[in-house]
């Protein structure tokens, strides 16, 4: 019996991924957009509100990076936890990474219990952690 040797190139064999960034912080979401968009295997879309993200779920994103605090544009807008729950009602298989400016253990546990894969605190290594999580997804 003979086996053929297989080699894999991470860039050419990596599955293309559709990524939504849902954050009302224009500066941070813009920097994250630029960083992720530099990967030719990622298509990245920005949404400043959770409601806009929910309307776009028919595009079947692979990963959603969702800000925990989304109500700074419109005071009555849904927050990240509410949007997370709606996303999971629509498609429980979408990978959601919750992003927050506050490092709070209770909120991290709560988001994971509600269906987020990970809770990432905004800061110096946040973008690296997000990229690592995305790369680890099938």
Q: What is the pLDDT of residues 26-64, one digit of tens each?
A: 999 999 999 999 999 999 999 999 999 999 999 999 999
The pLDDT of residue 3 is 46
Q: What pTM was estimated for this model as a whole?
A: 0.85
Angle at 67 between CA 79 and CA 86, to 5 degrees: 50
Tokens 């009555």: give the residue. 76
Domain ranges for the chain, please list them: 16-136
Q: What is the pLDDT of residues 78-109, one digit of tens each?
A: 789 999 999 999 999 999 999 998 888 888 99
| Cα separation, 79 vs 67, whole angstroms | 8
| Cα separation, 49 vs 55, whole angstroms | 10
Please report, for residues 2, 54, 55, 68, 101, the alpha-carbon distance to residue 108 in angstroms, rounded to integers and kept in the order given. 49, 22, 26, 10, 12
Annotation: CATH topology of 16-136:
Rossmann fold (3.40.50)
């Amino acid at each position: 019996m003979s086996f053929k040797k297989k080699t894999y190139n991470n860039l050419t064999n990596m599955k293309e991924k559709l990524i939504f960034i849902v954050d009302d912080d224009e500066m941070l979401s813009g920097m994250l957009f630029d960083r992720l968009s530099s990967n030719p295997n990622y298509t990245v879309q920005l949404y400043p509100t959770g409601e806009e993200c929910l309307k776009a779920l028919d595009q079947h994103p692979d990963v959603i990076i969702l800000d925990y605090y989304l109500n700074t544009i419109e005071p009555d807008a849904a927050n990240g936890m509410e949007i997370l729950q709606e996303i999971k009602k629509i498609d429980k298989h979408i990978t959601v990474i919750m992003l927050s400016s506050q490092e709070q253990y209770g909120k991290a546990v709560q988001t994971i219990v509600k269906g987020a894969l990970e809770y990432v605190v905004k800061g110096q290594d946040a973008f690296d952690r997000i990229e690592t999580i995305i790369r680890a997804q099938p």
